[in-house]
Chains A and B, each alone.
Chain A
Amino acid sequence: QVQLQESGPGLVKPSETLSLSCTVSGGSISGYYWSWIRQPPGKGLEWIGYIYDSGSTNYNPSLKSRVTISVDMSKNQFSLKLSSVTAADTAVYYCARDGGVAGRLEGYFDYWGQGTLVTVSS
């Protein structure tokens, strides 16, 4: 059974960079598309971006200038960096896997991490 686990600081100061990692267990990170998704308290889901195991990425235009997603195949892990954060970036951050296999992108998420709350505050 594939499991995803987010990790990283729960508190980030304004203007600094938010950094999170997602560790994948029970399966390989290779051959799949991996995404970050966030949910501000009491609000809806927002897709942040994805990465494929080759390192190719695609980001939500609303965040593109501040987002970097990277992958570390040796650790079966991928990461999110969001720069110049403000209070509006306070949210639960989820990592998730696209349902496609063998490099095919299916367009939905079949596995999610439990989520981690990141608060932006001084």
Chain B
Amino acid sequence: SYVLTQPPSVSVAPGKTASITCEGNNIGSKSVHWYQQQPGQAPVLVISYDRDRPSGVPERFAGSNSWNTATLTISRVEAGDEADYYCQVWHSSSDHYVFGTGTKVTVL
């Protein structure tokens, strides 16, 4: 099975930049999607296809993907960005959706 590994936690001061990595074997050959999950709520898509922002998602959210690591970058972090973030891919060889292990972002 395909495994996506994320750091359990990332801490960042308000106004600074947070980077969340998602590691997977040759993940650069796949499309990576990112979700934000606030406490007690359903996940919300914030990045699709490595770097596309759905309507309504601030430009502060950006994604990249290369080789074995995809990255979600949140610029000018705000208190409201404190949440859990999950990467996700479609594993075509098995026709399965795969989620990353999740990262809790704490705004100091």
Q: Which residues of A contact B (CB under 8 A)?
A: 35, 37, 44-47, 50, 58, 60-61, 94, 99, 105-110, 112-115
Contacts and interface: CB of A to CB of B under 8 A. Distances in A.
Contact of A44 (B49, B94, B101): B101
Given A107-B33, A108-B48, A45 B86 contact: yes
A14 B42 CA distance: 26
Nearest to A108: B33
Interface string B49-89: 10000100000000000000000000000000000001011
Contacts of B98: 47
B102 A45 contact: yes
- Tell me the interface secondary structure of chain A in the complex: loop
Given A105-B90, A108-B90, A113 B1 contact: no
Contact of A58 (B33, B95, B101): B95
Interface in B24-58: 31, 33, 35, 41-45, 48-49, 54
Nearest to A113: B42
Given A44-B99, A61-B1, A107-B90, A115 B42 contact: yes
B96 A58 contact: yes
A55 B97 CA distance: 18
Contacts of A58: 95-96
Contacts of A108: 31, 33, 45, 48-49, 88, 90
A70 B45 CA distance: 25
B89 A44 contact: no
Contacts of B101: 44
Nearest to A60: B96
Nearest to B34: A108
Contacts of B1: 61
Given A109-B33, A109-B35, A112-B42, 15 more contacts: A44-B99, A44-B100, A46-B99, A47-B98, A47-B99, A58-B95, A58-B96, A94-B43, A107-B97, A108-B33, A108-B48, A108-B88, A110-B54, A113-B42, A115-B42
